[in-house]
Amino acid sequence: MDRGDSSTRFANVVTPHLDDAYGLARWVTGNRADAEDVVQEACLRAFRGIGGFTGGNDRAWVLTIVRNTAYDWLRKNRSPAVVHVDDLEAVERMQLADDAPAGDNPEAALIARADEVRLEAAIASLPVMFRETLVLRDVHGLDYREIATITDVPIGTVMSRLARARRRVIDMLGADR
Amino acid sequence: MTENDRLLLNAYIDGELDPAHLLEFERRLAEDSALADERIRIETLRSAVRQRLPRATASRELRRRVAALTRRPQLLSTNWRTGWASMAASTAIAFAAGSIATLVGLGPGSREPVPELLVASHMRALMASQSVDVASSDRHTVKPWFNGKLPESPRVVDLASQGFPLVGGRIDVIGLTPVPTLVYRARLHVISVTELPLSRRASAPPHPIDGYNVVEWIDGPLAYWAVSDLAAPELENFARAFRAGDAEP
Protein backbone atom coordinates (compact mmCIF):
# COMPACT_ATOMS: atom_id res chain seq x y z
CA MET A 1 0.00 0.00 0.00
CA ASP A 2 1.54 3.30 -0.97
CA ARG A 3 1.46 6.48 0.99
CA GLY A 4 -1.56 7.87 -0.85
CA ASP A 5 -3.71 4.79 -0.15
CA SER A 6 -2.65 4.81 3.47
CA SER A 7 -3.47 8.48 3.81
CA THR A 8 -6.91 7.98 2.36
CA ARG A 9 -7.66 5.01 4.56
CA PHE A 10 -6.28 6.82 7.57
CA ALA A 11 -8.58 9.75 6.85
CA ASN A 12 -11.56 7.40 6.61
CA VAL A 13 -10.78 5.07 9.49
CA VAL A 14 -8.80 7.01 12.08
CA THR A 15 -9.53 10.71 11.69
CA PRO A 16 -13.27 10.38 12.53
CA HIS A 17 -12.29 8.99 15.95
CA LEU A 18 -9.69 11.55 16.99
CA ASP A 19 -11.95 13.03 19.65
CA ASP A 20 -12.53 9.62 21.21
CA ALA A 21 -8.83 8.85 20.89
CA TYR A 22 -7.88 12.03 22.64
CA GLY A 23 -10.56 11.54 25.30
CA LEU A 24 -9.33 8.08 26.20
CA ALA A 25 -5.69 9.17 26.19
CA ARG A 26 -6.59 12.11 28.39
CA TRP A 27 -8.22 9.87 30.97
CA VAL A 28 -5.37 7.38 30.97
CA THR A 29 -2.47 9.83 31.07
CA GLY A 30 -4.25 12.43 33.18
CA ASN A 31 -3.14 15.47 31.26
CA ARG A 32 -3.58 17.18 27.98
CA ALA A 33 -0.03 17.44 26.67
CA ASP A 34 0.79 13.79 27.32
CA ALA A 35 -2.56 12.76 25.86
CA GLU A 36 -1.76 14.63 22.68
CA ASP A 37 1.63 12.96 22.46
CA VAL A 38 -0.02 9.59 22.99
CA VAL A 39 -2.59 10.25 20.28
CA GLN A 40 0.10 11.39 17.90
CA GLU A 41 2.15 8.27 18.52
CA ALA A 42 -0.94 6.09 18.27
CA CYS A 43 -1.85 7.71 14.98
CA LEU A 44 1.60 7.00 13.66
CA ARG A 45 1.18 3.35 14.65
CA ALA A 46 -2.27 3.29 13.10
CA PHE A 47 -0.92 4.85 9.94
CA ARG A 48 1.78 2.24 9.67
CA GLY A 49 -0.62 -0.56 10.48
CA ILE A 50 -3.57 0.54 8.44
CA GLY A 51 -2.69 -1.77 5.58
CA GLY A 52 -3.34 -4.67 7.94
CA PHE A 53 -6.68 -3.40 9.19
CA THR A 54 -9.26 -5.65 7.62
CA GLY A 55 -12.25 -3.46 8.37
CA GLY A 56 -14.98 -3.86 10.92
CA ASN A 57 -15.19 -1.73 14.01
CA ASP A 58 -13.08 1.33 13.19
CA ARG A 59 -13.53 2.96 16.53
CA ALA A 60 -12.59 -0.11 18.52
CA TRP A 61 -9.52 -0.60 16.33
CA VAL A 62 -8.40 2.99 16.84
CA LEU A 63 -9.09 2.95 20.57
CA THR A 64 -7.21 -0.31 20.97
CA ILE A 65 -4.12 1.29 19.47
CA VAL A 66 -4.57 4.41 21.56
CA ARG A 67 -5.02 2.35 24.68
CA ASN A 68 -1.93 0.25 24.03
CA THR A 69 0.09 3.34 23.22
CA ALA A 70 -1.12 5.01 26.39
CA TYR A 71 -0.06 1.99 28.44
CA ASP A 72 3.38 2.04 26.85
CA TRP A 73 3.53 5.66 27.84
CA LEU A 74 2.47 4.83 31.42
CA ARG A 75 5.09 2.12 31.73
CA LYS A 76 7.69 4.55 30.57
CA ASN A 77 6.61 7.56 32.55
CA ARG A 78 4.87 6.33 35.67
CA SER A 79 5.95 4.17 38.51
CA PRO A 80 5.41 0.50 37.72
CA ALA A 81 2.81 0.25 40.49
CA VAL A 82 0.38 2.29 38.44
CA VAL A 83 0.03 -0.42 35.86
CA HIS A 84 1.33 -3.36 37.82
CA VAL A 85 -1.06 -6.21 38.23
CA ASP A 86 -0.42 -6.54 41.98
CA ASP A 87 -1.85 -3.13 42.43
CA LEU A 88 -4.87 -4.24 40.51
CA GLU A 89 -5.34 -7.29 42.65
CA ALA A 90 -5.07 -5.19 45.77
CA VAL A 91 -7.96 -3.17 44.49
CA GLU A 92 -9.83 -6.29 43.48
CA ARG A 93 -9.64 -7.39 47.10
CA MET A 94 -10.71 -3.99 48.27
CA GLN A 95 -13.54 -4.19 50.73
CA LEU A 96 -16.61 -2.62 49.29
CA ALA A 97 -18.47 -0.29 51.57
CA ASP A 98 -21.71 -1.41 53.09
CA ASP A 99 -24.76 -0.39 51.23
CA ALA A 100 -26.43 2.71 52.44
CA PRO A 101 -29.68 2.07 54.29
CA ALA A 102 -32.74 1.77 52.16
CA GLY A 103 -35.08 4.70 51.98
CA ASP A 104 -34.21 8.24 51.02
CA ASN A 105 -30.93 7.18 49.38
CA PRO A 106 -28.71 10.06 50.55
CA GLU A 107 -25.79 8.82 48.48
CA ALA A 108 -27.76 9.20 45.27
CA ALA A 109 -28.65 12.74 46.27
CA LEU A 110 -24.96 13.57 46.87
CA ILE A 111 -23.95 12.01 43.55
CA ALA A 112 -26.63 13.97 41.77
CA ARG A 113 -25.21 17.16 43.26
CA ALA A 114 -21.54 16.36 42.56
CA ASP A 115 -20.11 18.94 40.22
CA GLU A 116 -17.85 18.30 37.29
CA VAL A 117 -14.66 18.81 39.30
CA ARG A 118 -15.55 16.29 41.99
CA LEU A 119 -16.84 13.82 39.47
CA GLU A 120 -13.71 14.03 37.40
CA ALA A 121 -11.45 13.84 40.44
CA ALA A 122 -13.24 10.73 41.69
CA ILE A 123 -12.89 8.93 38.38
CA ALA A 124 -9.31 10.11 37.96
CA SER A 125 -8.41 8.58 41.31
CA LEU A 126 -9.39 5.08 40.18
CA PRO A 127 -6.63 2.66 39.24
CA VAL A 128 -6.11 2.94 35.53
CA MET A 129 -7.76 -0.32 34.47
CA PHE A 130 -10.92 0.52 36.37
CA ARG A 131 -10.82 4.08 35.15
CA GLU A 132 -10.54 3.15 31.49
CA THR A 133 -13.36 0.64 31.77
CA LEU A 134 -15.70 3.17 33.33
CA VAL A 135 -14.68 5.87 30.86
CA LEU A 136 -15.10 3.62 27.83
CA ARG A 137 -18.55 2.64 29.04
CA ASP A 138 -19.98 5.81 30.55
CA VAL A 139 -18.13 8.57 28.71
CA HIS A 140 -17.64 6.93 25.32
CA GLY A 141 -20.72 4.71 25.42
CA LEU A 142 -19.02 1.54 24.20
CA ASP A 143 -20.64 -1.82 24.84
CA TYR A 144 -19.09 -4.59 26.92
CA ARG A 145 -17.87 -6.52 23.91
CA GLU A 146 -16.07 -3.51 22.47
CA ILE A 147 -14.50 -2.72 25.84
CA ALA A 148 -13.36 -6.33 26.16
CA THR A 149 -11.72 -6.10 22.73
CA ILE A 150 -10.03 -2.80 23.44
CA THR A 151 -8.74 -3.71 26.88
CA ASP A 152 -7.95 -7.28 25.85
CA VAL A 153 -9.78 -9.05 28.69
CA PRO A 154 -12.82 -11.35 28.85
CA ILE A 155 -16.25 -9.76 29.15
CA GLY A 156 -16.51 -11.08 32.71
CA THR A 157 -13.52 -8.98 33.66
CA VAL A 158 -15.06 -5.93 32.03
CA MET A 159 -18.20 -6.50 34.09
CA SER A 160 -16.28 -6.90 37.30
CA ARG A 161 -14.09 -3.86 36.70
CA LEU A 162 -17.04 -1.72 35.74
CA ALA A 163 -19.05 -2.76 38.80
CA ARG A 164 -16.13 -2.04 41.10
CA ALA A 165 -15.24 1.22 39.41
CA ARG A 166 -18.76 2.52 39.74
CA ARG A 167 -19.01 1.34 43.31
CA ARG A 168 -15.79 3.16 44.20
CA VAL A 169 -16.92 6.39 42.61
CA ILE A 170 -20.28 6.14 44.35
CA ASP A 171 -18.45 5.65 47.65
CA MET A 172 -16.29 8.70 47.07
CA LEU A 173 -19.08 10.97 45.90
CA GLY A 174 -21.61 9.63 48.36
CA ALA A 175 -19.39 10.24 51.35
CA ASP A 176 -20.33 13.44 53.08
CA ARG A 177 -17.66 16.02 52.63
CA MET B 1 -25.84 -8.11 47.93
CA THR B 2 -23.51 -10.64 46.43
CA GLU B 3 -20.74 -9.90 43.99
CA ASN B 4 -22.73 -11.62 41.31
CA ASP B 5 -25.74 -9.41 42.04
CA ARG B 6 -23.60 -6.36 41.45
CA LEU B 7 -22.39 -7.61 38.11
CA LEU B 8 -25.91 -8.46 37.03
CA LEU B 9 -27.19 -5.11 38.21
CA ASN B 10 -24.57 -3.20 36.25
CA ALA B 11 -25.16 -5.32 33.17
CA TYR B 12 -28.90 -4.77 33.57
CA ILE B 13 -28.44 -1.00 33.70
CA ASP B 14 -26.16 -1.12 30.67
CA GLY B 15 -28.69 -3.13 28.70
CA GLU B 16 -26.29 -6.05 28.45
CA LEU B 17 -28.42 -8.75 30.06
CA ASP B 18 -29.79 -11.40 27.75
CA PRO B 19 -33.59 -11.79 27.75
CA ALA B 20 -33.55 -14.88 29.94
CA HIS B 21 -31.61 -13.19 32.74
CA LEU B 22 -33.42 -9.93 32.21
CA LEU B 23 -36.85 -11.14 33.34
CA GLU B 24 -35.47 -12.97 36.29
CA PHE B 25 -33.41 -10.00 37.36
CA GLU B 26 -36.31 -7.58 37.08
CA ARG B 27 -38.29 -9.82 39.36
CA ARG B 28 -35.50 -9.70 41.94
CA LEU B 29 -35.14 -5.98 41.59
CA ALA B 30 -38.80 -5.54 42.50
CA GLU B 31 -38.34 -7.57 45.67
CA ASP B 32 -34.91 -6.48 46.90
CA SER B 33 -34.86 -2.88 48.10
CA ALA B 34 -31.06 -2.84 48.60
CA LEU B 35 -30.66 -3.83 44.98
CA ALA B 36 -33.19 -1.21 43.91
CA ASP B 37 -31.36 1.51 45.89
CA GLU B 38 -28.05 0.56 44.35
CA ARG B 39 -29.66 0.74 40.95
CA ILE B 40 -30.68 4.34 41.64
CA ARG B 41 -27.15 5.22 42.72
CA ILE B 42 -25.57 3.69 39.64
CA GLU B 43 -28.05 5.31 37.31
CA THR B 44 -27.54 8.64 39.04
CA LEU B 45 -23.80 8.27 38.58
CA ARG B 46 -24.20 7.32 34.94
CA SER B 47 -26.35 10.29 34.13
CA ALA B 48 -24.06 12.62 36.11
CA VAL B 49 -21.08 11.42 34.07
CA ARG B 50 -22.98 11.75 30.83
CA GLN B 51 -24.30 15.22 31.58
CA ARG B 52 -21.42 16.80 33.38
CA LEU B 53 -18.27 15.35 31.91
CA PRO B 54 -17.98 16.83 28.46
CA ARG B 55 -16.71 14.59 25.71
CA ALA B 56 -13.12 15.59 25.09
CA THR B 57 -12.33 17.06 21.72
CA ALA B 58 -9.01 16.84 19.94
CA SER B 59 -7.56 20.31 19.65
CA ARG B 60 -7.03 21.91 16.30
CA GLU B 61 -3.30 21.72 16.91
CA LEU B 62 -3.50 17.99 17.54
CA ARG B 63 -5.50 17.52 14.35
CA ARG B 64 -2.86 19.42 12.45
CA ARG B 65 -0.10 17.31 13.95
CA VAL B 66 -1.92 14.14 12.99
CA ALA B 67 -2.69 15.41 9.49
CA ALA B 68 0.95 16.30 9.08
CA LEU B 69 2.30 12.95 10.14
CA THR B 70 0.30 11.07 7.57
CA ARG B 71 2.08 13.13 4.98
CA ARG B 72 5.50 13.17 6.58
CA PRO B 73 5.64 10.11 8.88
CA GLN B 74 9.40 9.90 8.53
CA LEU B 75 9.64 12.99 10.70
CA LEU B 76 8.55 11.04 13.72
CA SER B 77 10.50 8.63 15.76
CA THR B 78 8.69 5.68 17.20
CA ASN B 79 10.54 6.05 20.47
CA TRP B 80 9.17 8.13 23.24
CA ARG B 81 10.87 11.38 23.39
CA THR B 82 12.12 13.12 26.47
CA GLY B 83 13.54 16.48 27.32
CA TRP B 84 14.56 18.72 24.52
CA ALA B 85 14.45 15.91 22.03
CA SER B 86 10.76 15.76 22.72
CA MET B 87 10.41 19.43 22.18
CA ALA B 88 12.37 19.26 18.98
CA ALA B 89 10.31 16.37 17.71
CA SER B 90 7.03 18.05 18.40
CA THR B 91 8.35 21.14 16.71
CA ALA B 92 9.21 18.97 13.73
CA ILE B 93 5.57 18.12 13.49
CA ALA B 94 4.67 21.73 13.73
CA PHE B 95 7.12 22.32 10.92
CA ALA B 96 5.45 19.73 8.78
CA ALA B 97 2.06 21.13 9.64
CA GLY B 98 3.36 24.56 8.83
CA SER B 99 4.72 23.68 5.44
CA ILE B 100 1.48 22.06 4.48
CA ALA B 101 -0.38 25.03 5.83
CA THR B 102 1.66 27.26 3.55
CA LEU B 103 0.57 25.18 0.60
CA VAL B 104 -3.06 25.54 1.45
CA GLY B 105 -2.87 29.12 2.57
CA LEU B 106 -1.76 28.71 6.18
CA GLY B 107 -4.66 26.73 7.50
CA PRO B 108 -7.13 27.79 10.09
CA GLY B 109 -4.54 29.54 12.26
CA SER B 110 -4.32 32.45 9.91
CA ARG B 111 -5.45 33.38 6.47
CA GLU B 112 -2.61 35.81 6.03
CA PRO B 113 0.11 35.08 3.52
CA VAL B 114 3.62 34.41 4.74
CA PRO B 115 5.21 37.77 3.81
CA GLU B 116 2.62 39.69 5.82
CA LEU B 117 3.19 37.44 8.81
CA LEU B 118 6.95 37.90 8.56
CA VAL B 119 6.61 41.65 8.39
CA ALA B 120 4.26 41.53 11.37
CA SER B 121 6.84 39.51 13.34
CA HIS B 122 9.54 41.96 12.35
CA MET B 123 7.44 44.94 13.45
CA ARG B 124 6.56 43.23 16.69
CA ALA B 125 10.22 42.53 17.36
CA LEU B 126 11.12 46.17 16.74
CA MET B 127 8.51 47.29 19.25
CA ALA B 128 9.69 44.88 21.90
CA SER B 129 12.40 45.98 24.30
CA GLN B 130 14.68 43.56 22.44
CA SER B 131 14.29 42.40 18.87
CA VAL B 132 15.98 39.12 19.74
CA ASP B 133 15.61 36.33 22.30
CA VAL B 134 19.32 35.62 22.24
CA ALA B 135 21.52 38.67 21.84
CA SER B 136 24.95 37.96 20.52
CA SER B 137 27.13 38.98 17.62
CA ASP B 138 28.83 35.60 17.86
CA ARG B 139 27.22 33.04 15.58
CA HIS B 140 28.69 30.29 17.74
CA THR B 141 26.43 31.54 20.50
CA VAL B 142 23.38 32.20 18.37
CA LYS B 143 23.31 28.92 16.44
CA PRO B 144 23.44 26.62 19.50
CA TRP B 145 20.73 28.65 21.18
CA PHE B 146 18.25 27.24 18.66
CA ASN B 147 19.27 23.71 19.57
CA GLY B 148 16.54 22.11 21.58
CA LYS B 149 14.06 24.76 20.59
CA LEU B 150 13.75 23.81 16.96
CA PRO B 151 14.47 20.59 15.13
CA GLU B 152 17.32 22.17 13.28
CA SER B 153 19.42 25.21 13.91
CA PRO B 154 19.32 27.73 11.13
CA ARG B 155 22.25 28.59 8.94
CA VAL B 156 24.09 31.45 10.61
CA VAL B 157 26.67 33.37 8.63
CA ASP B 158 29.08 36.05 9.77
CA LEU B 159 28.58 39.14 7.67
CA ALA B 160 30.15 41.73 9.99
CA SER B 161 32.98 42.42 7.57
CA GLN B 162 30.42 43.28 4.90
CA GLY B 163 28.64 45.78 7.10
CA PHE B 164 25.94 43.48 8.47
CA PRO B 165 26.84 42.58 12.06
CA LEU B 166 24.82 39.84 13.71
CA VAL B 167 22.55 41.05 16.52
CA GLY B 168 21.09 37.73 17.65
CA GLY B 169 18.21 35.38 17.00
CA ARG B 170 14.64 34.74 17.97
CA ILE B 171 11.87 32.29 17.25
CA ASP B 172 8.92 33.59 15.32
CA VAL B 173 5.67 31.78 14.94
CA ILE B 174 4.43 31.88 11.38
CA GLY B 175 0.99 30.37 10.96
CA LEU B 176 1.39 28.31 14.18
CA THR B 177 4.83 27.11 13.08
CA PRO B 178 7.84 28.13 15.17
CA VAL B 179 10.65 29.17 12.87
CA PRO B 180 14.15 30.54 13.44
CA THR B 181 14.79 34.19 12.71
CA LEU B 182 18.22 35.80 12.70
CA VAL B 183 18.62 39.49 13.24
CA TYR B 184 21.34 41.51 11.56
CA ARG B 185 22.03 45.19 11.52
CA ALA B 186 22.86 47.47 8.63
CA ARG B 187 23.90 50.77 10.15
CA LEU B 188 20.79 51.67 12.17
CA HIS B 189 18.46 49.37 10.28
CA VAL B 190 17.40 46.01 11.54
CA ILE B 191 17.13 43.01 9.21
CA SER B 192 15.14 39.91 10.16
CA VAL B 193 16.04 36.76 8.24
CA THR B 194 13.62 33.88 8.68
CA GLU B 195 14.30 30.35 7.58
CA LEU B 196 11.17 28.46 6.49
CA PRO B 197 10.63 24.96 5.20
CA LEU B 198 10.22 25.25 1.49
CA SER B 199 6.73 24.52 0.29
CA ARG B 200 6.41 26.64 -2.77
CA ARG B 201 7.39 30.05 -3.94
CA ALA B 202 5.14 32.92 -3.15
CA SER B 203 2.51 33.32 -5.81
CA ALA B 204 3.52 36.93 -6.32
CA PRO B 205 7.04 38.32 -6.16
CA PRO B 206 7.76 39.94 -2.78
CA HIS B 207 6.66 43.52 -2.61
CA PRO B 208 7.05 46.19 0.04
CA ILE B 209 4.56 45.81 2.87
CA ASP B 210 3.84 48.76 5.12
CA GLY B 211 7.13 50.37 4.20
CA TYR B 212 9.18 47.24 4.78
CA ASN B 213 11.05 45.58 1.99
CA VAL B 214 10.86 41.84 1.66
CA VAL B 215 13.30 39.58 -0.15
CA GLU B 216 12.89 35.85 -0.60
CA TRP B 217 15.37 33.28 -1.81
CA ILE B 218 15.55 29.52 -1.94
CA ASP B 219 18.48 27.50 -0.74
CA GLY B 220 18.09 23.74 -1.08
CA PRO B 221 15.03 22.61 0.89
CA LEU B 222 14.64 25.94 2.66
CA ALA B 223 13.24 29.32 1.90
CA TYR B 224 14.75 32.46 3.39
CA TRP B 225 12.91 35.68 3.85
CA ALA B 226 14.59 38.93 4.78
CA VAL B 227 12.51 41.82 6.08
CA SER B 228 13.84 45.30 6.75
CA ASP B 229 13.20 48.98 6.28
CA LEU B 230 16.53 49.04 4.51
CA ALA B 231 16.30 50.29 0.92
CA ALA B 232 15.50 47.52 -1.52
CA PRO B 233 18.90 47.47 -3.33
CA GLU B 234 20.73 47.29 0.00
CA LEU B 235 18.49 44.47 1.18
CA GLU B 236 19.25 42.63 -2.06
CA ASN B 237 22.94 43.13 -1.30
CA PHE B 238 22.42 41.67 2.12
CA ALA B 239 20.58 38.68 0.63
CA ARG B 240 23.44 38.07 -1.83
CA ALA B 241 25.98 38.30 0.95
CA PHE B 242 23.98 35.93 3.14
CA ARG B 243 23.63 33.37 0.33
CA ALA B 244 27.31 33.54 -0.46
CA GLY B 245 28.34 33.59 3.18
CA ASP B 246 30.20 30.72 4.73
CA ALA B 247 28.14 29.05 7.44
CA GLU B 248 30.98 26.84 8.61
CA PRO B 249 33.10 28.04 11.52
Nearest chain B CA: its distance from A46 CA (Å): 10
Measured CA distances, B17 to B12, B21, B24 (Å):
5, 6, 10
Same domain, A162 and A85: yes
Cα-Cα end-to-end distance for chain B: 78
Q: Is A132 helix (H, G, I), strand (E, B) or coil?
A: helix
Same domain, A70 and A87: no
Domain boundary among A50, A78, A106: A78
Phi, psi of A48 (to 5 degrees): -70, -30
- The pLDDT score that the predictor gives to residue B95 is 39
Domain range spanning residue A35?
A: 3-78
Q: ipTM score here?
A: 0.83
Mean pLDDT for the stretch of residues B106-130: 69
Same domain, A101 and A72: no
**What amino acid occupies position B2?**
T
- The pLDDT score that the predictor gives to residue A121 is 92
Is residue B54 over pLDDT 60?
Answer: yes
Same domain, A33 and A93: no
Domain boundary among A57, A78, A99: A78
Same domain, A55 and A73: yes
Nearest chain B CA: its distance from A166 CA (Å): 7
Up-side HSE of residue A91: CA atoms within 13 Å toward CB?
A: 22
Residue A135 DSSP class: I
Nearest to B44 among A36, A41, A108 (CB): A108
Is residue B182 over pLDDT 70?
Answer: yes
Same domain, A91 and A147: yes
Q: Is A92 helix (H, G, I), strand (E, B) or coil?
A: helix
**Which of A45, A135, A138 to mutate against chain B (most B CBs within 10 Å)?**
A138
Give the number of domains in chain A: 2
**CB < 8 Å to A119, chain B:** 48-49, 52-53
Q: In B, residues 50-109, which contact A (CB 8 Å cutoff)?
A: 50, 52-53, 55-59, 61-63, 65-67, 69-71, 73, 76, 78, 80-81, 86, 90, 93
Same domain, A63 and A104: no
Same domain, A59 and A85: no
Q: Is B205 helix (H, G, I), strand (E, B) or coil?
A: coil
**What amino acid occupies position B37?**
D
Same domain, A62 and A31: yes
Q: Does B147 touch chain A (CB under 8 A)?
A: no
Same domain, A55 and A110: no
- Listed in sequence order, the residues at least 6 apart from B236 whose beta carbon sits closer than 8 Å to its beta carbon are B215
Averaged confidence pLDDT in chain B: 78
pTM metric for this prediction? 0.56
Same domain, A35 and A116: no
**What amino acid occupies position B133?**
D
Cα distance between residue A90 and residue A76, in whole Å: 22
User: Across the interface, do A43 and B42 touch by the CB < 8 Å criterion?
Assistant: no
For residues A126 and A133, is the Cβ–Cβ distance under 8 A?
Answer: no
For residue A88, the domain's CATH number is 1.10.10.10
Domain boundary among A47, A78, A109: A78
Of residues A5 and B22, more confidently modeled: B22
- The pLDDT score that the predictor gives to residue A16 is 94
For residue A68, the domain's CATH number is 1.10.1740.10
- The pLDDT score that the predictor gives to residue A104 is 67
> Exposure of B103 by Cβ count < 10 A (0-12 exposed, 13-18 middle, 19+ buried)?
exposed
Q: Is B91 helix (H, G, I), strand (E, B) or coil?
A: helix
Cα distance between residue B92 and residue B86, in whole Å: 10
Same domain, A122 and A166: yes
